[in-house]
Structure 1
Amino acid sequence: MAGRRRTKPDNPVESGSGAKAEGLLPADYELADLYGAFAAHGREEDDMDDAVVLVPPVLLPPEAELAAAALAVPLIDHALKLARWAAPHRPVDEFGDLTGPDRAPAARLLGLAPEQGDAPEEAVIEAMRAWSLACDLELVEIGTTADGEHVAIPGPDLADAEQGDPETVLELWLTAAGIVRELSAEADSLALEGEGEGAEGAGAAEETDEAGLAELEESRQAAAELLDEALQVLYETTAFAEPGQETVPLGVLAALLVVPEGEEPDEEMLGEITDLMVTLDPMLGDLAELGLLEHRPIDPELFEEESGEEPAVDGGGPLDEAEAARFGMVRLTALGQYGVRQWLLEDGFEAPLVGELAAGTAEELLRGISETDNVLPERELAVWLADREPVQAARELLAAARGTDPYGPVRRLLCLSALEQLGAGARPAAQEVVDDPQLGGGVRAWLLEQGLEVAAPEHGVVLWTMVDTFAAQLLTSEGRSEALQELVDGLPVDDDPEGFFAELWRIEHPYTAEVLDAVGELHRDRGIAKEARKAAFKARSRRGK
């Protein structure tokens, strides 16, 4: 797939408040008014630093389920039916198309035309589309008889596809989706070319010189790249979205492609967003026919010229969900996620699946999550926990969380997150380790949150756990998360910073010096920051570095 123009996967788009009263098209509205009814998809700002190079993991259904979804796509179903109908052979013309006498029967076979009377032209066209797809997918093969007659016969993959073989079905569907993807971009480029020709007259339209062909190819490539960018954005927003929240307003999708990260859209950008919406809308509609998307097109009434009547949308205030939906909605289906992922893999991207790290032991799980950049930890933990008994799962995770190696703090942070998912069922295992010097501090805090009475840990354990918690945030956020800043702001150092840090720098933890460095850099009180830096120097000297 083509590289994206934007730098972040799902930056929430915000703007000022009031929409213009004369607004009709998206360019006439503030984005916050147009799309404020919809939650932003994805992670917070500080979690996106590596998104430009990393494709997030997705959770896909089993291949058998995906294959069933592919077979339920009407165009695929029609192609299979026509391929079977070709048995033992069916006459075709020299181009492989159905001959005139077979076209109406083909439409009737597919239920597109009534059994009696003439078949509507639209039904015949749709049947011919399905036949063309069957030929492209080699569900039928074209040959010539000894008499020179052109005939079609069922292809070798037809039987496996009809039986629902997942590998065969998904390969056919992916090929079909690729064909539609290419044709959609080509149709868009031809439409743009036609608009350009209209101003020059019929003579210019007939020109076929090299410059004109090059311009057409450039237009086709631009349309293909735009569609690929949009699909990759949808893939990423779907990966980060909570279940049931995968639908994206078309304007938000366009804004994510237009508005630079960290900026608010200006009037020119709002115009670009509208243009992009209009360009993407028919292309996404084409892909929806293959089940790759669920797509609600832009309401055509929004583009009707005003002739004295009230505008189609009242721009006097914020839009609710129903009104905003008139500007188009799109959702990448599970089948669509499968397809986009395959295209990403073909282009050399790493596109992991949720659950790939959850196939082994607790130790392998925590180590894998800790050492992998491209991972959604909460979902990976959920997959591992799904079929396990809570107490035993908690025991295994707690045992795997111990250690003073470089990733130890992250493993303990992940373990506490897993305990949160397990809930009350993990309490017995947690109570078994309340006196553990590495696990006890965090586990006691979790048990207190569970409503259990737990004795306070020793002061040294409290300080060690504090350093460990800071270290985990440093390792997972590269020192730039809001959570880390909150930890720094919440340090109990106001009364006696010198005494506090005098204790802290003596804590035997592999990240003591680094934690004190972070406090020295991030604390808002200059005096406290200075004491932290002095303590960091002492901690580093103590360990001989």
Structure 2
Amino acid sequence: MAGRRRKNVGAETGEGAAAEAVLPADLDLQDLYGAFAAHGLDDEDLDDAAVLVPPVKLLPETELAVLAKAVPMFGYALAMARWAAPHRVVDALGDLVEEDRAPAARLLGLAPAEGEVPEGAEIEALRAWSLACDLDLVELGTTEDGRHVAVPGPDLEPAEEGDPDTVLELWLTAAGIVRELAVDADSLPEEPEEPAEGEEGEADEGALDEVEEARQAAAELLDEALQVLYETTAFADPGQETVPLGVLAALLVVPEGEEPSEEMLGDITDLMVALDPMLADLAELGMLDYRPIDPELFDEDEGEGPVVVGEEPLDDEESARFGLVRLTPLGQYGVRQWLLEDGYDAPLVGDLAQGDAAELLHAVCESVNVLPEEELKVWLAGREPLAAARELLAASRGSDAYAPMRRVLAVEALRQLGAGAEPAAREVMDDPELGGAARAWLAGLGRTDVPAPERAMALWTVIDTFAAQLLGGGEGAMRELIADLPVGDESSGWFAEVWRVDHPYTADVLEAIGELHPERAVAKEARKAAFKARSRQ
């Protein structure tokens, strides 16, 4: 797939952003992916991170193969290949001969068993035959007497039997063909200009260059749109992955942090019109659920100009007339395969949920492309809650660079496990590293017999919690924690205690508070405390 040219990758969304216009690509990369960046991540690493795509959940290949066989266009190709047995005469180009086209249309259920066959039905039958040939479901040859014939290919039988590897390989090849044809169709000039006398050769060459440039632009546009839709399947709740076509186009046009200008609104409309036929083609092969643009919206009769998206607020029903699109499970599979072929890291949810608790936490913390809660959910599935909680808490101890993140993950696991993990949390209430977080979690369950932590433990837990946010790159969450600091008017006294906390990240946390705290006096005290902590280290 082509590299992105989207203008808003990595943008942060403010509180005033319209909720319906927010997609994952608008948000901060670290906030989205929960990526636990290495301490001291440099600019080069951040540039690399910007091309990552999020982990997704795929259906099992057996289920995907069933879905692929249920796609009409793919099923037609299989039916045509079976119809070729034991052999079928074709023309010199491998197409169905004239007398076979109507029977083929009837075979596919595109025309009534009796009576005249509509021309469109024969065209669809020819398309199905062409796809069967492209997929090598039928093979072409010549007999000894010079006749051109087609016979079923070796993949037909395993495909008919539903062999997942065969079906998905064929379907993915078909998807690639449809994708190429969709791009080619979008890049053809509507009205080629007539060359002047004596300029035929130069005009032909120039026209070919223009078509190739248009084709590349269309391919890049379609790839970018598919990548955005792929992201929505990772971050949207099930059933909520449908995106208005106008929102999809806006994400490809509007630079980060900007409101769309009048010119941009026109560009958004143009992109919608360009994407509409290409998405419709991919929907035919089951990659997308797509409701196309209502053609009446762009009716220019009676002197009215075309509708421009974004000029007036739309309700849900009116917005749907501008097109709605969702990547299907098959589409998810297909886009991921294309991403992998192009060298992208396109992981699956659960890839890191292997081995014991220590291996899980180590892998999640060191990955820059991970959904931590999802990995925990996969790892916890089927495990006995109390044993799992004990294992995770034990694995979260330590003073190395990623230890704060491991403890955050362990507490998240407690949250997912619920009351079944309570005995494990009570066992570590006096642990100097885990006690503060364990007591806070138990108090959150409503347990009234849990004593408040001692001052030293409470301060250490504060630093540990802040350190986890520093590692995670979540500046928004960091600002919220800073806003809730119990410093009051006597900030110097609080910081005088904190800089002495024996934690590897004490100085880093204090420096972050000094940089981000909105009150100048508090920020100054934090910076002074950071200097003392750094000198102590």
Q: TM-score, normalised by structure 1?
A: 0.90
Tell me how far 1:272 sits from its aligned partner.
0.1
Aligned counterpart, 1:23: none
Tell me how far 1:313 sits from its aligned partner.
11
Aligned counterpart, 2:511: 517
1:143 maps to which of 135, 141, 144: 141
Aligned counterpart, 1:408: 403
Q: Deviations over 1:136-193 (max 9, x none)?
A: 0000000011111111000011111111111111111111000010000100111xx1
Range with greater deviation from structure 2 (491-500 or 161-170): 491-500
- Cα pair distance change 1:56/1:218, threshold 3 Å: same
Alignment of 1:10-21 (within 5 A): none
Secondary structure at the counterpart of residue 426 of structure 1: helix
2:81/2:138 contact within 8 Å kept: yes
Range with greater deviation from structure 2 (364-373 or 234-243): 234-243
Tell me how far 1:491 sits from its aligned partner.
1.5
Tell me how far 1:355 sits from its aligned partner.
0.7
Aligned counterpart, 1:386: 381
Range with greater deviation from structure 2 (460-469 or 95-104): 95-104
Task: Give the RMSD, CA atoms, in angstroms.
Answer: 2.7
Secondary structure at the counterpart of residue 402 of structure 1: coil
Secondary structure at the counterpart of residue 356 of structure 1: coil
Q: Distance in 2 between matches of 1:357 and 1:72?
A: 32
Q: Distance in 2 between matches of 1:455 and 1:249?
A: 51
2:8/2:252 contact within 8 Å kept: no
Tell me how far 1:327 sits from its aligned partner.
0.4
- Cα pair distance change 1:13/1:451, threshold 3 Å: closer
Aligned counterpart, 1:21: none
Aligned counterpart, 1:87: 85
Alignment of 1:362-377 (within 5 A): 362-377=357-372
Letter of the structure 2 residue corresponding to residue 114 of structure 1: P
Q: TM-score, normalised by structure 2?
A: 0.91
Q: Distance in 1 between matches of 2:171 and 2:80?
A: 16
Tell me how far 1:315 sits from its aligned partner.
9.5
2:7/2:254 contact within 8 Å kept: no
Range with greater deviation from structure 2 (419-428 or 467-476): 419-428
Aligned counterpart, 1:27: none
Letter of the structure 1 residue corresponding to residue 459 of structure 2: L
Aligned counterpart, 2:171: 173
The answer to whether structure 1 residue 481 and structure 2 residue 497 are counterparts is no
Tell me how far 1:264 sits from its aligned partner.
1.2
Q: Distance in 1 between matches of 2:362 and 2:283?
A: 40
Letter of the structure 1 residue corresponding to residue 3 of structure 2: G
- Cα pair distance change 1:98/1:15, threshold 3 Å: farther
Letter of the structure 2 residue corresponding to residue 456 of structure 1: A
Aligned counterpart, 2:500: 506
Aligned counterpart, 1:359: 354
- Cα pair distance change 1:414/1:315, threshold 3 Å: closer
Q: Deviations over 1:59-82 (max 9, x none)?
A: 111111111111111111111111
Tell me how far 1:334 sits from its aligned partner.
1.1
Q: Deviations over 1:260-283 (max 9, x none)?
A: 111111000000000000010000
Q: Distance in 2 between matches of 1:240 and 1:3?
A: 21
Aligned counterpart, 1:152: 150
The answer to whether structure 1 residue 126 and structure 2 residue 121 are counterparts is no
Letter of the structure 2 residue corresponding to residue 161 of structure 1: A
2:295 maps to which of 293, 296, 300: 300
Give ranges in structure 2 of 5+ residues lacking alignment.
33-45
Q: Deviations over 1:453-480 (max 9, x none)?
A: 2111111100100000010001101xx6
Range with greater deviation from structure 2 (467-476 or 352-361): 352-361
1:213 maps to which of 184, 208, 212: 208
Aligned counterpart, 2:35: none
1:491 maps to which of 468, 485, 490: 485
Give ranges in structure 1 of 5+ residues lacking alignment.
17-30
- Cα pair distance change 1:284/1:390, threshold 3 Å: same
2:55 maps to which of 36, 49, 57: 57
Letter of the structure 1 residue corresponding to residue 221 of structure 2: L
Aligned counterpart, 1:233: 228
Q: Distance in 2 between matches of 1:460 and 1:540?
A: 19
Q: Distance in 2 between matches of 1:136 and 1:205?
A: 34
2:7/2:253 contact within 8 Å kept: no
Letter of the structure 2 residue corresponding to residue 93 of structure 1: D
1:441/1:461 contact within 8 Å kept: yes
1:15/1:264 contact within 8 Å kept: no
Aligned counterpart, 2:36: none
Q: Distance in 1 between matches of 2:15 and 2:277?
A: 27
1:345 maps to which of 318, 340, 343: 340
Q: Distance in 2 between matches of 1:223 and 1:128?
A: 26
1:291/1:336 contact within 8 Å kept: yes
Range with greater deviation from structure 2 (205-214 or 76-85): 205-214
- Cα pair distance change 1:416/1:7, threshold 3 Å: farther
2:432 maps to which of 431, 437, 452: 437
Q: Deviations over 1:429-473 (max 9, x none)?
A: 212211111111011111111111211111110010000001000
The answer to whether structure 1 residue 535 and structure 2 residue 533 are counterparts is no
Tell me how far 1:43 sits from its aligned partner.
7.1
Aligned counterpart, 1:6: 6
Q: Distance in 1 between matches of 2:3 and 2:142?
A: 44
Secondary structure at the counterpart of residue 143 of structure 1: strand
2:396/2:406 contact within 8 Å kept: yes
2:266/2:309 contact within 8 Å kept: no
1:251/1:327 contact within 8 Å kept: yes
1:497/1:531 contact within 8 Å kept: yes
Aligned counterpart, 1:25: none
Letter of the structure 2 residue corresponding to residue 71 of structure 1: K
Letter of the structure 1 residue corresponding to residue 105 of structure 2: A
1:197/1:204 contact within 8 Å kept: no
Range with greater deviation from structure 2 (200-209 or 529-538): 200-209
Q: Distance in 2 between matches of 1:144 and 1:60?
A: 43
Secondary structure at the counterpart of residue 140 of structure 2: strand
The answer to whether structure 1 residue 224 and structure 2 residue 219 are counterparts is yes
Q: Distance in 2 between matches of 1:482 and 1:540?
A: 25
Range with greater deviation from structure 2 (519-528 or 285-294): 519-528
Secondary structure at the counterpart of residue 392 of structure 1: helix
- Cα pair distance change 1:112/1:255, threshold 3 Å: same
1:56/1:236 contact within 8 Å kept: yes
Secondary structure at the counterpart of residue 536 of structure 1: helix
Q: Distance in 1 between matches of 2:433 and 2:118?
A: 75
Aligned counterpart, 1:321: 316
Q: Distance in 1 between matches of 2:390 and 2:25?
A: 32
Q: Distance in 2 between matches of 1:383 and 1:517?
A: 36
Secondary structure at the counterpart of residue 209 of structure 1: helix
Secondary structure at the counterpart of residue 451 of structure 1: coil
1:142/1:153 contact within 8 Å kept: yes
- Cα pair distance change 1:540/1:14, threshold 3 Å: closer
Aligned counterpart, 1:188: 186
Q: Distance in 1 between matches of 2:198 and 2:151?
A: 44
Aligned counterpart, 2:41: none
Secondary structure at the counterpart of residue 294 of structure 1: strand
1:420 maps to which of 415, 419, 431: 415
Aligned counterpart, 2:454: 458
Range with greater deviation from structure 2 (365-374 or 378-387): 378-387
Q: Distance in 1 between matches of 2:319 and 2:13?
A: 15
Q: Distance in 1 between matches of 2:296 and 2:525?
A: 66
Q: Distance in 1 between matches of 2:252 and 2:360?
A: 35
- Cα pair distance change 1:222/1:212, threshold 3 Å: same
1:470 maps to which of 463, 466, 473: 466
